[in-house]
Amino acid sequence: MDGTQRVQLVTELVLPANNLVGALETHLLARFAALERVNLAHNQLVGHLPSLVELSRLKVLNISYNAFQGSLPAFHPEAAVEVIDLVGNAYFGPLDLSANVVNLTHFDASRNFFHGSIFPPLLLTASGMVHYSVALNELAGTLPDSICASWPRLAHLNLANNDGLVQSAGVPLAWLSSLSGSLPPEFSTLSQLSTLQIPSASLSGTIPDGYSALTRMVDLQISSNDLEGTIPSDLFQSMPRLTTLVAEKNPMLSGQLPPSLFSSPHFDLDYVNFAWCNFPASSRLTWRFSPRRD
């Protein structure tokens, strides 16, 4: 078997954190037609990612924390990609993914410069989506009514800090978000949801009563929005895994903090922040707890 034949049998290219520097040849990956997994994360690679359109078997692409730039890479139309991780690069343009998303479970494009819709229609057809994060971009839009029906297995949703950076007096950098709408009551049907991060948006309305059904919730961050009304009294009764709760800077949240927040012996709460809400003075505090020692 000659060298060319051996290259064509390679199924994984896994080189994370290898101090790789510079640009890669345009057709480098095309030589490895059988590739199923590409992991070039945590290097210092720049320029454009080599073409993926010849990789019909590709399942996992992780190029996070480099300096790749340009628009979203194009995929082979028959490649049933399962994981796409683009975190921490310099990609821009809309999230116009040209890929077969039937098997896609993990999509993370955080810390880039993408703009346009925060929920592209094609990605909403990925019915197996478990992890969706597009934080720290320049995206905008609304929470679609269909999100729970589209992604019934969703466990991690991070939409934080979109629509660019602005300079403000006294504050070095402040993030704005063009996400709008309300917290969907349908989120209560997402039985696997453990992370919900939607801070610094323009969300309005109340916190739905049914969220007490989110029994796997670990990290809930809804700060700096326009949420109003009282917090449902039973919200935290069935969240034994909750460690982080951040709801500060919702000035129209009022009433009393639910007793269920601190009454459960199963809580491992590490950080709670309700500062700058309209609670009684004794409640407008930030609590940081020491880890529980069993």
Interval 9-54: pLDDT, tens: 899 999 999 999 999 998 899 899 999 999 999 999 999 999 999 9
Confidence (pLDDT) at 288: 57
3-state secondary structure of 240: coil
Sequence-distant (≥ 6) Cβ neighbours of residue 202 within 8 angstroms: 177, 178, 179, 180, 225, 226
Confidence (pLDDT) at 238: 85
116: left (phi over 0), alpha (psi -120 to 50) or beta: left
Confidence (pLDDT) at 208: 92
Per the CB < 8 A criterion, the answer to whether 64 and 108 are in contact is: yes
* Nearest-angstrom CA–CA distance, 190 and 111: 26
User: What is the value of pTM for the model shown?
Assistant: 0.84
Confidence (pLDDT) at 268: 76
Of the chain, the percentage scoring pLDDT greater than 90 comes to: 59
Q: Any idea where the domains of the chain sit in the sequence?
A: 143-285
Q: Which two tokens stand for residue 86?
A: 């683009």
Q: Which two tokens stand for residue 194?
A: 């453990």
* Nearest-angstrom CA–CA distance, 84 and 62: 6
CATH code of the region 143-285: 3.80.10.10
Q: Can you give the pLDDT of all 294 residues of the chain as single tens digits?
A: 445 555 778 999 999 999 999 999 988 998 999 999 999 999 999 999 999 999 999 999 999 999 999 999 899 999 999 999 999 999 999 998 888 999 999 999 999 999 999 999 999 999 999 999 999 999 988 888 788 999 999 999 998 887 633 332 222 223 334 567 888 888 999 999 999 998 887 889 999 999 999 999 999 999 999 999 999 988 888 888 999 999 999 999 998 888 878 776 556 788 889 888 988 755 555 555 545 444
* Nearest-angstrom CA–CA distance, 156 and 95: 19
* Nearest-angstrom CA–CA distance, 34 and 243: 42
Confidence (pLDDT) at 48: 95
